[in-house]
Structure 1
Amino acid sequence: MRPSRRHPLLVPALLSALVVLAARPAAAEGDGEDLDISAQVARLYEDASVATGQYEAGRQDAEAQRGRAERAERLLARERQEIAVLHEDLGRIVRAHYRQGGGLPYTAQILFAKDPDGLMRGQHAVRRADLAVAGAVAKSRRAEGRLAEDEAKARSEWQALEKRSGELAAIKRTIEAKLDEARSALQSRADASVAAGSCRGTVRLDQPPVQFTRAWVAPVETYELSAGFGSGGEHWAHRHTGQDFAVPIGTPVRAAGAGRVVRVSCGGAFGIEVVIEHPDGYYTQYAHLASVAVDQGQRVSTGEWIGQSGTSGNSTGPHLHFEVRVTPDMGSAIDPVPWLAGHGVVV
């Protein structure tokens, strides 16, 4: 087995807007129930890039909110230290004030005074001390008021963060459950098709309006590479004849390049498969699909959705088996990774 190379998989935690996508009408041909589930899964993936961006934006907002809350906590710590210093200063001023006679009424101070001039000077000092005490008290109260406001703001920040995180987690659980259910139903129908040896019908997927400027693309947008060309395994009679792209069931599968569909079949070791002939004389095969979106003889453009990935046929788990051949038949495969690289596609 080749060591796997990770690419970011589509985040199944889309957004709550996607929960209602199943209610959208399906634009498909053939058996309605079968094609409805295919269209439902396809539409979830159709909106995946937008929804993933929105989910990521929400996560970044939550992180920014966390940063603001942490800065507020640091500010509160500084304010608490400043208030502690103010209280110490206030204590010193009050103690000095009483030592200077600030605790006695002015009449009593006159009666006990031995030096009237000294009393006047002392009284002047007391008034200054009174002002200092009043100023310190006011400053302390203002600081305590700011502290209370900042503490309330910090609590609000953390509460908003926790609420947002809870909402995102709930959305994630809802979408994952809906996708799991839809994928399971899609694969069950694919297995029935393979067992019967005939395809149920072409699914006309509502493809996003994307035009590729390149002549060639990877057969799936996001993936994890698994079994590579030439690797051994108990599931292959000789050596592995293609490159496997590990993706969830229902992932849109794209035509690697423009060409004509020369085979659509739904039986055997490859399960549901599509083979495309390209103008340069090479053929590409897409196998273990859950559904097909093209007809035999149809012309396709680069990046056009030709089906949905699955795990039909001789497959150990959800993935796309991709081959490059010099003929449309088995036994003529070449290593697709350097072939794609030669066409400007690095996987």
Structure 2
Amino acid sequence: MCSLTVVLCVLPACDGAALAAAPAAAESGARGTRDRAADRADRADRADRADRADRADRADRAARVSADVARLHQRAGEVARRYERERAAVRRHHAETERVARALRHERRTTERLRQAAGRLARERYRSGALPYALLPLRSLGADAHSRLRGDRTLARRLTEAQARGRRLAERERAEAARTRELAARARRLNADVHEVERKLAEARATLRRVVSRVAHDGQCVVPGRGARRAPGARAGLPAGSPLPRAEAGGPEPDRAGSRTGTGGPPRAERGGPRVAPRAAWTRPVAAYTLSAGFGRAGARWAHRHTGQDFAVPVGTPVRAVGSGEVVSLRCGGPYGMSVLLRHARGAYTQYAHLSAVLAARGERVRAGQWIALSGDTGNSTGPHLHFEVRRGPKSGSAVDPVSWLRRRAVSLPARVDEERRRS
């Protein structure tokens, strides 16, 4: 009886304690859930900040590398042009040295003939026992002797003049030879500089290809001197004071291959820019290249047919506007990768795709031959190349054959154009 009573008394007390502890347990569980959720949110936020920082670092590195590539192209062009000038000067001085040497040999032969003539004359006088006419009084000489005296003096004068000319030519030959050796030494140093710049350029191109692929995958455009920007607001102009100078950002003027009055022959090779044609209206999109996939080509790589002309070029090759126009679109992702679309007169549009960096801003007016981008390997690409497309409108589906289109504008596209690289 007592045990039952105890139980009856204890059970209500236990139920009351449990009921009293339930809110505290629920609050503790909710607090734990909130803490875990906050911890997950904090980790996600840290991961997001780290991801944004990584993207920014990749974009900044890509911008720096692309600026280095553009500068090295400029530097390579300058060094190559100086090297060619020095080689031309060496050839000119070498030719002048050869000309002087031939003249010197001629004078020496003339001098030798005059000496032999004077020797024969002296031997004849000696054998005859006659005094030289120059030692006899003039009044004692007859007409024939006077004539011979004039001949002796003429021979002596000619011999003296030939000897003087020979000495002058010998001095000039030595000077020209010394100048030729000096110029040849300078050309060798410049040739070594060309090799060094090209080595650095090759390394920078390889680095650019590695770092740009991730940036393009993030949907960003590489802008040398400005990091990376998303396509809608990308501003690719390079103001004074930025890592890439304005002269490099603008690029060179077009070559004579694009002038309306030109023949459309191969352009002068571009190392940071070819020589300019002041009134060129159209030019090639790249200076040195090998044509690869052509317009209308079918294959598994394209949904229907190829809509442009591909130019096989290394990553980081300067891409030029084929004609004056306005930048109407910059895209930083998708099948074309980084791409630039220009609008020209009479409703023509040109697109430059699979780029590694953009050098022109949306809305910017560009001139024929101006650098607008660096070639790359972004988007749906099987290797480094430039995809060049000509359209009748801004959207896809209106493409025309770029080769025929440029040919009608006096610009030919040989299957291959190599850079000038004449070296000793």
The equivalent residue for 2:357 is 291
Count of residues in Structure 1 that have an aligned counterpart in Structure 2: 295
The equivalent residue for 2:309 is 243
1:241 Cα deviation from its structure 2 partner: 1.8
Distance 1:249 1:153 in 2: 47
Mapped pair 1:322 → 2:343:
no
TM-score normalised by the chain length of structure 2: 0.55
Distance 2:62 2:173 in 1: 57
Mapped pair 1:334 → 2:400:
yes
Distance change >3 Å, CA 261–CA 286, structure 1 → 2: same
Distance 2:128 2:280 in 1: 93
Aligned pairs (5 A) from 1:135-214:
141-142=163-164, 145-146=167-168, 148-194=170-216, 196-199=217-220, 201-203=222-224, 204=236, 205=238, 206=246, 207-208=249-250
1:259 Cα deviation from its structure 2 partner: 4.0
Mapped pair 1:78 → 2:78:
no
1:83 Cα deviation from its structure 2 partner: 2.5
Distance 1:76 1:182 in 2: 53
1:98 Cα deviation from its structure 2 partner: 3.0
1:321 Cα deviation from its structure 2 partner: 0.9
Greater mean deviation of Cα atoms: 79-88 or 257-266: 257-266
The equivalent residue for 1:309 is 375
2:284 and 2:411 in contact (8 A); partners too: no
1:328 Cα deviation from its structure 2 partner: 5.4
Q: Among 95, 100, 108, which residue is 1:67 paired with?
A: 95
Distance 1:216 1:176 in 2: 31
Q: SS state of the match for residue 299, structure 1?
A: coil
Distance 2:315 2:351 in 1: 18
Distance 1:341 1:133 in 2: 70
Distance 1:299 1:146 in 2: 66
Distance 2:93 2:406 in 1: 43
1:82 Cα deviation from its structure 2 partner: 1.1
Distance 1:337 1:301 in 2: 24
CA deviation vs aligned residue, 1:321-346 (integer Å, no higher than 9, x gap): 1112356565542222344566x463
1:293 Cα deviation from its structure 2 partner: 3.5
Distance 1:152 1:284 in 2: 58
Distance 2:165 2:393 in 1: 82
Distance change >3 Å, CA 90–CA 277, structure 1 → 2: closer
2:76 and 2:198 in contact (8 A); partners too: no
Mapped pair 1:264 → 2:331:
yes
2:352 and 2:388 in contact (8 A); partners too: yes
Distance 2:167 2:280 in 1: 66
Distance 1:136 1:280 in 2: 76
Q: SS state of the match for residue 106, structure 2?
A: helix
Distance 2:174 2:89 in 1: 20
Distance 2:86 2:105 in 1: 29
Distance change >3 Å, CA 240–CA 162, structure 1 → 2: same
Question: Structure 2: 5+ residue runs without aligned partners?
Answer: 1-56, 132-140, 225-235, 239-245, 255-277, 413-424
Distance change >3 Å, CA 306–CA 30, structure 1 → 2: farther
1:215 and 1:302 in contact (8 A); partners too: no
Q: Among 275, 280, 300, which residue is 2:364 paired with?
A: 300
Distance 1:276 1:151 in 2: 58
Distance 1:215 1:154 in 2: 40
1:272 Cα deviation from its structure 2 partner: 3.0
1:283 Cα deviation from its structure 2 partner: 4.4
Aligned pairs (5 A) from 1:26-105:
31-45=59-73, 54-101=82-129
Distance 1:134 1:324 in 2: 80
Question: Structure 1: 5+ residue runs without aligned partners?
Answer: 1-28, 104-119
Q: Considering Cα pairs closer than 8 Å and 6+ residues apart, tell me whether 1 or 2 has the greater RCO.
A: 1
Distance change >3 Å, CA 263–CA 154, structure 1 → 2: closer
Q: Among 213, 222, 226, which residue is 2:291 paired with?
A: 226
Distance 1:73 1:47 in 2: 38
The one-letter amino acid of 2:391's match is R
Q: By percentage of residues, which structure has more helix?
A: 2
Q: SS state of the match for residue 245, structure 1?
A: strand
The one-letter amino acid of 1:241's match is T
Distance 1:271 1:138 in 2: 80
Larger radius of gyration: 2
Distance 1:239 1:94 in 2: 95
Q: Among 319, 329, 334, which residue is 1:253 paired with?
A: 319
The one-letter amino acid of 1:299's match is G
2:291 and 2:312 in contact (8 A); partners too: yes
Q: SS state of the match for residue 213, structure 2?
A: helix
Distance 1:280 1:311 in 2: 31
1:133 Cα deviation from its structure 2 partner: 9.3
The one-letter amino acid of 2:375's match is S
1:93 and 1:133 in contact (8 A); partners too: no
TM-score normalised by the chain length of structure 1: 0.64
2:65 and 2:208 in contact (8 A); partners too: yes
